[in-house]
Structure 1
Amino acid sequence: MTQSAADAASGRAVRAADRAHLANVETQILELERSLSSLKEEKEAIRDRLAIYTYPVLTLPNEIVSQIFVHFLPAFPHYPPPIGLLSPYLLCQICQKWRDIALATPALWSVISLSFHKAGRVPQKLHYLQTSIERSGSCRLSLKLATRLDDSYLAELVHMVIDHFRRVEYLDLSHWPAFGFPTDAELSLPFLRGLKLGDYFNAPVTRIMAPVLQQVVLQDFGGLDNSFFPWSQLTAITVEWIRLDGYSYLINQLVNVVYCNLGLCATDQLSLQDVTLSHLETFILRIFLGNHLPPGSGIMATLTLPALRRLQITETLLAGEDDPVNSIASLVTRSGCNLRELSIPDASTAHERYRDTFPSTSITSEALDSDIIVPFLMEWEDEDEESSDSDDEFDADSED
């Protein structure tokens, strides 16, 4: 057989083998296509079953989901952030149904904390505040507002807040030094229970009509009197800075106070009057920024506190007394109280002397945990959320 005949025979054999292999490949393809078709049918059947399945949580009545949402927020007096974790807007990002429920739950939007530290962001924050107030419906409002801007940027904000005073239950302006209360009319806050004010309130301002107000925090007591506050109805008060003459006036007005925390600033010696506070259980008396009372002020000797249970006092306050331990013992004996906790942060006298004198009393150098006693009076760090949240993030999360 010639070479050319051999090559032709070899070619025919290769083509015959390819035709046989092609037939096998086509057979496999048909089998795979039938398997794929079967799998597609199975996939659609599974999708159909899933489509008609309802997750149990989505079968809950809207009213129940709404109550669950309310408990998602941090417990008062902690405030939810305007965006991010623990924000009510987070609940709007799960699904459309939950978004609708969240937006229709007034209590989610009635506790509002905002800082206004950058002028360029004031309009966005105002929009957020206005939207939240509208969504809160008729709920009582708790507002915590802070700013370092001057009044020229905040006139609209002040009016917005004042317009809703009749619904405010707790109002924290402790980091708003110069909130612009109007001065030509009485302000009615019929549901106000707690109020914190900054440093502005030295001059007479509008009389606040707050028949249920019980808890007050002042940065500075600057001669405020009964024309501003109904002191006699308060049950808890903190004043960060108060002169001795202001103390002399104030302490006689607090006839129903249960918790009292005062930071004294020394002034000239005054003749203090005797005072009995029948309901006072927790009394914290501090010296402001290392001041000293005038010798012989006798501040402890003027007090009778029958209900006293917790006392925090500095020995600096007792500098004019012959013996700080005896001064406190005289207060306890005179009052007939059951003193359970005694805190003396700057004690130079050995604690053993206090323990010998008060064997059934817990003696400590640690400050009393006042946050547990009256949570609303807890100190608040002014957290500037602008440092961590961009304008775009705030706008995106606070869209209607």
Structure 2
Amino acid sequence: MTRIMVDASRRVSKSTGQYFWAFKLEFEYAELCLSLFLAFRPASRPFKLLLAVILRARSFTRLASWTQYPGMPISQLKMGGKDELPLNSKPYPVLILPTEIVVEIFLHFLPVYPLCPPLVGIESPTTLSQIYHDWREIALATPALWRAISFFNGGCSFERQVAISNTWIRRSHPLPLSLRSVAPTRDSLDAIVPHFLPHRERWEYLCMHGVDTLTAFDGPMPLLRHLDLYVRTPRTAVITFNTAPLLHSVALIYTSANIVGLPWAQVTTLRLTGPFMSSVCVSILRQTSNLVHCELQTLAYEAAAPDVTLLRLESLKLTVNRLDEHPLQKALILPALRRLTLIEYDANLKSVPSLEMFLEKAGCARLEELHIKTSTPVLGLGAAYRTAFPSIPLFNFLY
């Protein structure tokens, strides 16, 4: 049975500081699928290194010669001499894999959607189109490889990022899109938004950090499931996302809730990060009747807050200055809560009875996990927490 052996070493060039990765794999065609799908986890480094070795072989003709002379450094193999083997002289397993298997391998090469790969570099899907002409055709004909696009992640100029992203958007049609843009400057994001807008009906996961206005985003988004916004300066009219029937996950970072109209009743996952007033948090929470997971960072608050009942909330991450002074301590009713993470910047020994009061008011009889983190070490605080909550199965205390 045809056998491939790739044998190389890992060494470091002191002059350039570059790492040359290699490894040893030996498999038969009958074992190839198991080697790729069982021995390697999706997107694992050994799998990516296999493609990197193929890339550094520069061509499959040179790689073919290398398989016949495994002891010879690949750099010494000639491209066109008597040592070269024609590709059609024998079938190599990696070349005769079914297209369906190659597609699965390519998809495992990328981060799990909706995470975005880099636009350039060895971990970009473009790499998969540069290995072998048949693989290039497969890569270009696989829309799922090009559907997750991240801007401003380094590696190339702004103009090239625009060109690459437009190409990926075309190749990914008609699949939904995951778009992420964390702009270093206001002007750069304003310049990229027009390239996104014509494809608004394909947006599924949208992360926009650094926008100056939301006016351009006003319109139907029938596939949108996740929205992550950071508005740099809230000088904009109220923009509603009520034409997003699938939206269930929302993250607002230093963004005034007064400028965003969202279908809160359908949201199941919510993250509010920034100096949100407790009154704003309460106003939002009272509309999120189906909330299951929630993260709140509320460092500014008023004297009191009305009760908020969230019957379905299972996970809460709460970041405050001091729980005993926060109005949410006596406002939240969470009968289904199973996991609580409390980050308290200015903790003290009063924090323990404050948390006991919080859990009693919330009615957390089903709490299974309690994670507490403080920014200032307080002598005996960790032991006091452990003594106060012995019945909670999983407990962690960090500072």
TM-score for the superposition, normalised by structure 2: 0.69
Residue 183 (structure 2) aligns with:
147
Unpaired runs of 5+ residues, structure 1, are 1-42, 368-400
Residue 262 (structure 1) aligns with:
296
Answer whether contact 1:74 1:86 (CA < 8 A) is retained. no
Q: Aligned-pair distance for 1:318?
A: 8.1
Deviations 1:315-351 (Å, cap 9, x if unpaired)?
A: 56888xx953333334434414322222221274623
Change (3 A) 1:68 1:303: same
User: Which residue type is aligned with residue 222 of structure 1?
Assistant: S
Q: Matches of 1:93 and 1:46 in 2, distance apart?
A: 21
Bigger Cα displacement from structure 2, 95-104 vs 197-206: 197-206
Q: Matches of 1:248 and 1:112 in 2, distance apart?
A: 34
User: Which residue type is aligned with residue 129 of structure 1?
Assistant: S
Q: Does 1:350 align with 2:390?
A: no
User: Which residue type is aligned with residue 295 of structure 2?
Assistant: N
SS of 2:373 mapped into structure 1:
coil
Q: Does 1:104 align with 2:138?
A: no
Please identify runs of 4+ aligned residues in structure 1 that moved more than 6 A: 43-46
Bigger Cα displacement from structure 2, 328-337 vs 101-110: 328-337
Deviations 1:156-208 (Å, cap 9, x if unpaired)?
A: 5312211111111111113x33255327xx41111111111113373433322
Q: Does 1:90 align with 2:127?
A: yes
Q: Aligned-pair distance for 1:117?
A: 8.2
Answer whether contact 1:187 1:206 (CA < 8 A) is retained. no
Q: Aligned-pair distance for 1:231?
A: 1.3
Change (3 A) 1:264 1:46: closer
Residue 159 (structure 1) aligns with:
194
User: Which residue type is aligned with residue 352 of structure 2?
Assistant: V
Answer whether contact 1:314 1:344 (CA < 8 A) is retained. yes
Residue 329 (structure 1) aligns with:
356
Change (3 A) 1:79 1:264: same
User: Which residue type is aligned with residue 329 of structure 1?
Assistant: E
Residue 252 (structure 1) aligns with:
286
Deviations 1:70-117 (Å, cap 9, x if unpaired)?
A: 111122353211111221111112111111111111000001112188
Residue 337 (structure 2) aligns with:
308
TM-score for the superposition, normalised by structure 1: 0.69
Q: Does 1:190 align with 2:227?
A: no
Bigger Cα displacement from structure 2, 66-75 vs 128-137: 66-75
Alignment of 1:116-127 (within 5 A): 121-127=157-163
Aligned partner (choices 207, 210, 226) of residue 240 of structure 2? 207
Answer whether contact 1:351 1:363 (CA < 8 A) is retained. no
Q: Matches of 1:214 and 1:101 in 2, distance apart?
A: 34
Bigger Cα displacement from structure 2, 193-202 vs 208-217: 193-202
User: Which residue type is aligned with residue 338 of structure 1?
Assistant: R
Change (3 A) 1:245 1:106: same
Change (3 A) 1:350 1:123: closer
SS of 2:211 mapped into structure 1:
coil
Q: Matches of 1:78 and 1:117 in 2, distance apart?
A: 16
Deviations 1:238-262 (Å, cap 9, x if unpaired)?
A: 1111112212212212211111111
Between Structure 1 and Structure 2, the one with more strand by share is: 2
Change (3 A) 1:296 1:127: closer
Change (3 A) 1:352 1:163: same
Q: Matches of 2:88 and 2:83 in 1, distance apart?
A: 10
Q: Aligned-pair distance for 1:123?
A: 2.6
SS of 1:163 mapped into structure 2:
helix
Aligned length, in residue pairs: 311
SS of 1:279 mapped into structure 2:
coil
Answer whether contact 2:268 2:290 (CA < 8 A) is retained. yes
Question: Among the aligned pairs, what percent are the same residue?
Answer: 33
SS of 1:224 mapped into structure 2:
helix
CA RMSD of aligned residues (A): 3.1
